[in-house]
Structure 1
Amino acid sequence: MERPGLGSSTWVPGRTLLDWAEDVRQLDLAELATVGFSQGAPFALACAARGLTSAVAIVSGGDELAHPESALPPDVRQLVDSVAADPAGAEVEFASFGNAETLWRLSIDGSPEVDREIYLQPQFAKAFRRALEAGFAQGSAGYAHDTVLHFARWPFRVEDLTSRVHLWYGGLDGNPTHSPDHGATLAARIPNVVRHYLPDAGGALLWTNAREILAELLAR
């Protein structure tokens, strides 16, 4: 599924995280299990907040950075504050910055060697870049709006989730917008949660540990 404004999905101005959950509801899928990778995390948790999924795996996922309990590095705090003060202006800034090539370079240059070994494999790099290019096929507006939704307060409380939630973080993942403390604070807020912390892994867990992640997600 492609979120509005990404790929070939129609752009919807002013949409929210919970609007995405309503889009998913229209598919009428039974016993849905959900994976949220990186900035997909709040969208996956929005589905859980609306009771659409019984189990969620958040993999190298974006944290609720605007939550008062989040201890943020100064540069991330600045981004969160700018989104809170002027979300429309922040969206313009994100749109001017975001494109497929920039995100590719950030993924490669900002990742530890354990992740680059995955990302730079020829077949993987081709698929990864194709996915990034599809995401920006309509321009950068969809990416920019998703980023604002990530950095703003989420319109649901993770404390109220009833789904099983598995958090997966690698200790070598240095992206502070994933989670500054590798999901520790987020795990403390979610009732039915298991936090998996792999100290020698990076942010590419969805590919390096896919079998383990999906087996845990589907276990009953």
Structure 2
Amino acid sequence: MDHGVREPERLGRTRLPDGRLLGWAEWGPADGTPVLLCPGAATSRRLAFGGDAVDAAGVRLVSVDRPGLGASDPAPGRTLTDWAVDIGHLVRERTLRAPLAVGFSQGAPFALALAAHRLVRAVAVVSGSDELAHPRFAHSLNPRVRDMVDAVAAGPGAAEASFAGFGGADALWELIITTSPETDRAVYTDPVFRHAFRRAMDEAFARGPAGYARDTVLAMSRWPFDPAGITVPVDLWYGQQDTSPVHSPDLGESLARLIPTATRHLLPAAGGALLWTHAEDVLRSLLAHVR
């Protein structure tokens, strides 16, 4: 099985007003409904999802490298708000009229930031990281994750330097495999998927670990927006078998209560690899909000 991974149909880089370049990849019809993908931690624009379902649904899937990862130039000290500004420019330059967004894993807060800034019409959060630094998780985080959150709160600069020293694609791959349930390992270690996943990770670290380190600081910090202020539809997708310590500790239960427009989809037999095992369901629900 390939779990819907495909080579990009279009690749490019868009110049931002400050001169930086933002890398992107596209699949599906160029005149289709734009869906912006905010990838998971330390993966590049090349890791797709949905396969043939993207074409069948008439979706123009656009995956974007965050600054410092893959083909996107670095932006030291960037924030989730800065990300929304960058994407606002990309939307205008690439004529992505009224886009939707998908945020997978660590990409979740980046996708929700687009919703908070009213850049997208609806969002699907898939196996998403939550606001891990929020007081509601004070006593429910994995101890290692709690240490990371505390380190960022105590000194973001020092924490970022520490995260940069974590390693690279090999170390992160090992962490993913050892913390995933069997249902997810079956996806990640499938030869076709593994090749696509590992290549995306290698590309993400091509400029060094700084982009990954900055993303991790943002993932372990308080969000600069209030989820209660989001007004567009938000689908929260979680698998009950998901064992990732950096995804939502309560599988989106409290986040669904905070976001007034949220619908939570909890799948008993699924794990964290939902983006590839249930891609058609995710796309169908997302598109239903605007069609």
TM bucket by the smaller chain? over 0.9
Alpha-carbon distance, 1:76 to partner:
2.2
Corresponding position of 1:85: 154
Residue 98 and residue 169 in structure 1: after superposition, are their counterparts in 2 closer, same or farther (change >3 A)? Answer: farther
Corresponding position of 1:198: 267
Query: Given the alignment, which residue of 149, 154, 167 partners 2:223?
Result: 154
Q: For 1:172 and 1:93, how far apart are their aligned partners in 2?
A: 30
Equivalent residue runs for 1:1-220 within 5 Å:
1-27=64-90, 28=92, 29-70=96-137, 71-220=140-289
Q: Name stretches of at least 5 consecutive residues in structure 1 with no aligned partner.
A: none
Deviation sequence 1:145-194 (CA, Å, 0-9, x none):
00000100011010100111001111111112111111111111001000
TM-score computed with the length of structure 1 as normaliser: 0.97
Corresponding position of 2:5: none
Deviation sequence 1:67-97 (CA, Å, 0-9, x none):
1122423332222111101111111111100
Residue 74 and residue 108 in structure 1: after superposition, are their counterparts in 2 closer, same or farther (change >3 A)? Answer: closer
Q: For 2:159 and 2:118, how far apart are their aligned partners in 1?
A: 31
Deviation sequence 1:85-125 (CA, Å, 0-9, x none):
11111111111004111111122221111111111111100
Task: Check conservation: 1:98, 1:144, Cα contact below 8 A.
Answer: no
Show structure 1 runs of 4+ deviating over 3 A. Answer: none
Higher relative contact order (CA 8 A, sep 6+): 1
> What is the number of residues matched between the two proteins?
220
Q: For 2:191 and 2:166, how far apart are their aligned partners in 1?
A: 26
- Relative to its length, the structure with more strand (as a share) is 2
Moved more, 113-122 or 125-134: 113-122
Moved more, 68-77 or 2-11: 68-77
Task: Check conservation: 1:98, 1:143, Cα contact below 8 A.
Answer: no
Amino acid at match of 1:65: L
Moved more, 126-135 or 72-81: 72-81
- Relative to its length, the structure with more helix (as a share) is 1
Moved more, 204-213 or 103-112: 103-112
Q: For 1:21 and 1:177, how far apart are their aligned partners in 2?
A: 22
Moved more, 71-80 or 44-53: 71-80
Alpha-carbon distance, 1:134 to partner:
0.6
Amino acid at match of 1:48: A
Moved more, 72-81 or 99-108: 72-81
Amino acid at match of 2:268: P
Q: For 2:178 and 2:247, how far apart are their aligned partners in 1?
A: 16
Amino acid at match of 1:8: A
Quick one: percent identity of the two aligned structures? 58
Q: For 2:263 and 2:167, how far apart are their aligned partners in 1?
A: 33
TM-score computed with the length of structure 2 as normaliser: 0.74
Q: For 1:88 and 1:119, how far apart are their aligned partners in 2?
A: 32
Q: For 1:54 and 1:6, how far apart are their aligned partners in 2?
A: 26
Alpha-carbon distance, 1:41 to partner:
0.5
